[in-house]
Structure 1
Amino acid sequence: MASKEQTIVLITGANGGIGFELTAQLLHDSKYLILLGSRSLEKGEAAVKLLQERGLPGKVQVLQIDVNSEASITNAQKVVEEKYSRLDALINNAAITSEEPTSASLSSRMTAAFQTNVTGPTVVVETFAPLLEKSGRMGKTPRIINVTSGAGSIGWRSDRTNPHQEMKALPYRTSKAALNMLTACQDYEYGPKGWKVFCFCPGFTESNLGPMNKVEHGAKPTSEGAKPMVAILEGKRDEEHGGYLKADGCWPW
């Protein structure tokens, strides 16, 4: 059972990339207990070991969760309920571009992108909502961050002068646009309860999303992409809840 003073945060897809970096940054504060979500238990345990070796004051535990499996999500919720009884914040970070393999049909790539990037976060929030509700009843402010992308901006896509117009990535763009709508729906549902729901774009950042997400191609360090989410979790952007956020403002929907 966690104390009320602790802030319990679940981050999906956190065994690498921006999820791992966000975990590391939060662990600099002893109040955080991070549930490092990982589809692979082995990779999750390895990530937790690396973080624990840094001797940071916060606490981290691995939580096996596959956002493409309702059974896995349900099991993860039961584990959290039994061990901690509540959840204070949820970061839907797990995602795919669905651009690989290129031999796959468009239909299969679209289906895969929407399953991981939209259906997964929808079911995760729905399943963990009772634990977030418990956090709210304790006088805390439950927060949800759906990690999105500027590639999901319809306004941005409609601007033919935008330098990123040549980026096609149809499965990724459309699924992230749908994730943005999901955020608006979740904010409409949970906002009246005092919850703060956001979609946040970390920008073009180093990650395992694809071969182009590397420093040599202009990707910024994961530390820069993760840092603004720490501020969101600290309540510093609560007045922007329901918004399509980036580090220095908002994207056009």
Structure 2
Amino acid sequence: MKTVLITGANKSIGFETARQLLRQGYYVYLGARDLKKGEAAVQQLHAEDLTSVEPIVIDVDDIESIKTARITLGGKTGVLDVLINNAGVSGALPQGPLDTDPAVFKQVFETNYFGVISVTQVFIDLLKASDAPRIVNVTSGLGSLTLHKDPTWKYYPFKAAAYMASKAALNAYTISLAYDLRDTNFKVNSVDPGYTATDFNHHSGPGTIEDAAARLVKAAVLRADGLTGQFFSDDNAPETGISPW
């Protein structure tokens, strides 16, 4: 049975991703900052007869929490097949480039960028033990610098300076990581779940959580001939599914 660790998985898109991967036969380590919330999410899945799941306490803002989670997971399995870096924050909005406190930038980058790097580096040894490791970095369509320069783009007016910069940086990390692992069986991709109705955006998005999670799952289960080092976004590029950086 293949294994997957999903950060920020006790609710919303992360939780639905866990549900869909469980239905595909994966064993899910459901990452949550709070153990009680993680346990509650697991109990909900158990009630749906999806039992190959357990909570893992992991706070991506805290390196000691990440290292403890690695020790915990290593005591349960010697192989991690999939890592989905899903945990993220938007930061206080609006985020103008001149009036947003630098502390907001630091907070957003701590989770959306540095947290992903820390989790990936700490768990990379378990991933390398897999025959077909997959890393999915959950980004945003707002991380496209190319589209942010295009006045005709539907999201052109939305310039959340801290959030968009953190996701652009995450995309850059994805490119670098995929290149570093280019001669291996790894598939490393950024995936935009789309503008989805969640508490992350006060349920303002038009997309469904089910569709958003399906996009993450698609990248998590890529076959050997699948692409790596890509920015997948059905929202930004409905015809090709690959967004410009």
TM-score by structure 2 length? 0.92
Residue 67 of structure 1 is matched in structure 2 by 60
Residues 1:179 and 2:167 aligned together: no
Deviation readout 1:156-190 (Å, 9 max, x if unpaired): 10101212111121111000000000100110112
Residue 227 of structure 2 is matched in structure 1 by 240
Query: How big is the shift at 1:236?
Result: 4.7
The answer as to whether partners of 1:232 and 1:238 remain within 8 angstroms in 2 is no
Provide structure 2 residue ranges, at least 5 long, that are not aligned to the other structure.
Answer: none
The answer as to whether partners of 1:80 and 1:86 remain within 8 angstroms in 2 is no
Give the distance between the partners of 1:233 and 1:37, measured in 2 at CA. Answer: 16
Query: How big is the shift at 1:207?
Result: 2.2
Q: Which amino acid aligns with 1:63?
A: I
Residues 1:23 and 2:40 aligned together: no
Provide structure 1 residue ranges, at least 5 long, that are not aligned to the other structure.
Answer: 1-5
Q: Which amino acid aligns with 1:96?
A: V
Residue 48 of structure 1 is matched in structure 2 by 42
Give the distance between the partners of 1:101 and 1:72, measured in 2 at CA. Answer: 30
Residues 1:76 and 2:69 aligned together: yes
Q: Which amino acid aligns with 1:178?
A: A
Residues 1:250 and 2:242 aligned together: yes
Alignment partner of 1:152 out of 143, 146, 165: 143
Paired-residue identity, %: 37
Residues 1:190 and 2:177 aligned together: no
Secondary structure, aligned partner of 1:83: coil
Deviation readout 1:193-247 (Å, 9 max, x if unpaired): 2211000001001223232xx1xx3421100111122222222585321000023
The answer as to whether partners of 2:86 and 2:138 remain within 8 angstroms in 1 is yes
Greater mean deviation of Cα atoms: 140-149 or 199-208: 199-208
Deviation readout 1:139-163 (Å, 9 max, x if unpaired): x200000000010000110101212
Residues 1:7 and 2:2 aligned together: yes
Q: Which amino acid aligns with 2:114?
A: T
Q: Which amino acid aligns with 2:159?
A: K
Give the distance between the partners of 1:100 and 1:218, measured in 2 at CA. Answer: 16
Residue 3 of structure 1 is matched in structure 2 by none
Give the distance between the partners of 1:237 and 1:168, measured in 2 at CA. Answer: 37
The answer as to whether partners of 1:15 and 1:43 remain within 8 angstroms in 2 is yes
Query: How big is the shift at 1:75?
Result: 0.4
**Change over 3 Å in CA distance of 1:101–1:204 after alignment to 2:** closer
The answer as to whether partners of 1:196 and 1:238 remain within 8 angstroms in 2 is no
TM-score by structure 1 length? 0.89
